[in-house]
Amino acid sequence: MDYFGEDIETIHGKKWNWKNFKSTKDYPVSNNLLEWVIGQERALNECYLCLEEWVHKLKNLKEEKWYEAWKDPDKEKPQITKTAPPGPYLLLLGDPGTGKSLIGRALSVHLTDLYKKKDIELQDVVCWQNEVIPSEPKISCHPAGEGKKILLKQKLKEAKKLFLQRIGVKAIIYLMIIVASIFMFAGFYYLYQEKVSWDTNAMTAYGEPIQTVHNGDFSKFMIDAFVSIGSITFLPAGMMLMFLILVTVLGRFGVLGSAKGIGGAKATKVPKYIVDNSRKVAPFIDATGHGSAQLFGSIAWDPLQTGGLGTPEHQRVSAGDVHRAHGGILYIDEIKNMKPDEAITLLTVLEDGQLPITMRSRWSSAGGTAAMAVATEPVPCMCFLVGAGNFDSIGQVHPALMDRIYGYGKVVRMNNDMPNTVENRRKYVQFIAQEVSRFWLIPFSREACEEMIDKGRRRSNKKDALSTKFRPMISLVKTAATLAMSEGLELVERRHVREAIDKHCKTIQKQILEHQMSERGKLLEISPEGARLGQIYGVAVVKDPYSGEMTGNVLAVKGFLEKRNKRCDNSLQGYYKVTGIAKEGKEQFIADSVAKVRSVILQKYGVDIAQEFFTHIDFAQAYRVDGPSAGVTMTILLCSLIEGKHIRQDVAVTGEINVSVDDVVPVTAVGGLHEKIRAAEMWGFKKVIVPAKNYKHSIDPRDYKIKVIPGETLDDYLRESLVDS
């Protein structure tokens, strides 16, 4: 098979020879994430179309000067009736691993390039204090990068004001210290003069000696002098000093002028920078699994707020994902899991393009806190919504939200596979080179790349397709490279990829199923040798009900068929029993097969196995076998018994039997062919017969050591499985 063609291709300015390349070393990996998306051309085209519409909308808003009303925080904001038109939005639906989140991230890069070409500016959002109504902070919007300048200007302004205040306060403190010192000095000086007067026994104003007036009691004389002098010197000085100590202590504990609130923030009038687009790159916000507070913003609660000592209201405002994604991508994976109230609020965002920030809590009763009374002006949140989910999301997304997406956007199906062409096989080499570059691995050899492509083909369950579920393939790339590096090699070889596939990169469901089949296989009586009458081997799958993982299983089917008048008289009716199959439940596919087998035998041989024979088919050592693929197995078994021909025991079969048309009994396609063939191969069968449609659509014989034979009709199956007695 020619995997990669023979031409020389120029990739990102570098020539790459697809005919002679030996490994992925030096493969030119692009830095553009959009080029990393493989096999989703239709989804990308729809995304590009939506982005063109989005940019056209922003361009018209710019021409209408829609943001002019948001520049001044004191101006009235646009009313709801004057908001921007809604849309477009995008909902990507597909299986996990098909590249939904990668597309979301890549679109933000593409959007940045479109903004530069169309001269569209992103916006910064600043929250200001409302001096009139503090519980209603004001909002302003500015071109990207201006928000930081405004914040710096306001910080310098407040710093200058605080500096002058501190200078003034310090001047007053020093002046009070000087005055208090003068009073203290004066007090001690006057006391000293009183002592000198006592020592000299100076005369009082009444002409009497001091010592005589005080009866020679020096202590009483000094106490009286201290009281009289202290009231006009020491007392004022002490009051000044106590006041200074009180101010110092309170200031040190942050009670006066510098109270600290949540996060250590100081009480300040400086505005808060709540949306930063200074990098001028279209934001990509992954809001998967976020609650209301994270999605739509919130007001932080401060325990000191009730007393007026905490952080100001505008400093406690936190923007939500929808606000931070303003002008960019808001990505929500598993959008079906959004709560109804969150979906309704998201509707407001999508319709109005603006949403006030108020307190939102994960609990229904947040308590009567001061934060609940705070609500900002409307904050712009025109975001390009990219939702994602599995196909079951169609019926589980909130109906009103789904209606908005249908009305203003697009719902896109992600591809599970892509055509198995030379171009797409080259894309697989690109994918391998990208992952090698991303995880710093060693290059893959050409043969290892071919094995990865074969694995991608088998995962698609189609011969002419390649799987686009690349996330499980990433594990193969990493594991194979690690195996090669542990051996000290410079290239990953084919055997490393095969070892990773067969031994290391199976899901836990697959491991459990294979372990169960392995343990059960020790008890099974399966011997693929010779030829026997009344026994045939069919292949089936065992499926995990939650993950969909499958593994193959071999069934030994035995039969008994006897004419009713051989042992009894003709008055006794026959019967038709099938044991070992599912008999309960809403979906019993095998019940239809059992009925069709009776009709096919009647059409082919003209006998009714339920009336003219005693018929018993037993799925030996099996329990609750179900599915249409056992139909051809039971039919071949009955044909061998009726014709008396032995069945080759080294042949396993699968296929859905159908009622004959024009004497031809068709055998139609069934599922899980790869797992069934691998199970037959593991048990040592030489041949496995499969429906021709399956063979044409999804089977490449080179994938198996066992011989795979297509069968279109029942006669084709009988020809390969029956031998003469």
Q: How confident is the model at residue 351 (pLDDT cuts 50, 70, 90)?
A: confident
Tens of pLDDT, residues 306-320: 545 567 888 888 899
- Asked whether 5 and 20 are in contact (CB, 8 A), the reply is no
Q: How confident is the model at residue 264 (pLDDT cuts 50, 70, 90)?
A: very low
Q: How confident is the model at residue 91 (pLDDT cuts 50, 70, 90)?
A: very high
- Which pLDDT score is estimated for 261? 47
Tokens standing for residue 60:
């018209």
Q: Which segment of 219-233, 285-299, 626-640, 652-666 scores lowest on mean pLDDT?
A: 219-233
The mean of the pLDDT values for the chain is: 85
- Asked whether 690 and 673 are in contact (CB, 8 A), the reply is yes
Q: Which segment of 451-465, 562-576, 671-685 scores lowest on mean pLDDT?
A: 562-576
Q: Which of 462, 596, 676, 721 is labelled catalytic?
A: 676
The span from the CA of 35 to the CA of 57, in Å, is: 26
Q: Is 629 a catalytic residue?
A: yes
- Which pLDDT score is estimated for 71? 86
Neighbours of 1 (CB within 10 A): 9
Interval 17-21 mean pLDDT: 91
Dihedral angle sign, alpha carbons of residues 147, 151, 156, 160:
positive
- Which pLDDT score is estimated for 716? 93
Interval 549-574 mean pLDDT: 79
Q: Is 116 a catalytic residue?
A: no
Exposure b/e, 587-615, CB count within 10 A at least 16 = b:
ebebeebbebbbebbbebeebebbeebbb
Tens of pLDDT, residues 419-434: 999 999 999 999 999 9
Structure-token match 């020809």, residue found:
719
- Asked whether 267 and 312 are in contact (CB, 8 A), the reply is yes
> Helix crossing, 41-63 with 100-118: angle to 10°?
40
Percent of the chain with pLDDT strictly greater than 70: 91
Segment 143-150 long-range contacts (CB within 8 Å, at least 24 positions apart)? 144/277, 144/278, 144/279, 144/280, 145/277, 145/278, 145/280, 147/273, 147/275, 147/276, 147/277, 147/278, 148/124, 148/273, 148/276, 148/278, 150/126, 150/271
Whether pLDDT at 256 is above 70: no
Whether pLDDT at 258 is above 70: no
Interval 588-606 mean pLDDT: 87
- 258 or 485: which leads in pLDDT: 485
- Which pLDDT score is estimated for 569? 61
Interval 488-504 mean pLDDT: 93
Q: What is the DSSP letter of 713?
A: B
Nearest Cα neighbor of 91 from 59, 43, 130, 126 is: 43
Whether pLDDT at 396 is above 80: yes
Whether pLDDT at 257 is above 80: no
- Asked whether 65 and 59 are in contact (CB, 8 A), the reply is no
Interval 641-669 mean pLDDT: 91
The span from the CA of 271 to the CA of 152, in Å, is: 10
Q: Which domains are seen in the chain, by residue range?
A: 9-32+418-505 (1.10.8.60), 43-145+277-413 (3.40.50.300), 150-264 (no CATH), 530-723 (3.30.230.10)
- Asked whether 57 and 477 are in contact (CB, 8 A), the reply is no
Whether pLDDT at 125 is above 50: yes
Interval 369-390 mean pLDDT: 84
Whether pLDDT at 363 is above 60: no
Q: Which segment of 407-421, 476-490, 525-539, 543-557 scores lowest on mean pLDDT?
A: 543-557
- Which pLDDT score is estimated for 663? 82
- Which pLDDT score is estimated for 562? 87
Interval 218-237 mean pLDDT: 81
Q: Which of 629, 640, 698, 721 is labelled catalytic?
A: 629
Q: What is the pTM of this model?
A: 0.76
The span from the CA of 710 to the CA of 699, in Å, is: 10
State the amino acid at position 678 in one-letter form.
R
Interval 78-105 mean pLDDT: 81
Tens of pLDDT, residues 170-206: 888 888 888 888 888 888 888 888 888 887 777 776 7
Nearest Cα neighbor of 472 from 5, 97, 13, 33 is: 97
DSSP 452-466: HHHHHHHHHT-TTEE
Q: Which segment of 30-34, 77-81, 293-297, 462-466 scores lowest on mean pLDDT?
A: 77-81
DSSP 75-133: SPPPPGGGSPPP---EEEE--TTSSHHHHHHHHHHHHHHHHHHHT---EEEEEE--SS-
Kindly give the pairing relationship between strand 329-332 and strand 123-128: unpaired
- Asked whether 676 and 656 are in contact (CB, 8 A), the reply is no
- Which pLDDT score is estimated for 566? 67
- Which pLDDT score is estimated for 211? 75
The span from the CA of 540 to the CA of 521, in Å, is: 14
Q: How confident is the model at residue 572 (pLDDT cuts 50, 70, 90)?
A: low
- Which pLDDT score is estimated for 440? 94
- Which pLDDT score is estimated for 314? 84
- Which pLDDT score is estimated for 655? 92
Whether pLDDT at 482 is above 80: yes
Tens of pLDDT, residues 438-458: 999 999 999 999 999 999 998
- 588 or 35: which leads in pLDDT: 35
Cis peptide before 134 (omega within 30 of 0): no
Tokens standing for residue 703:
């994938």
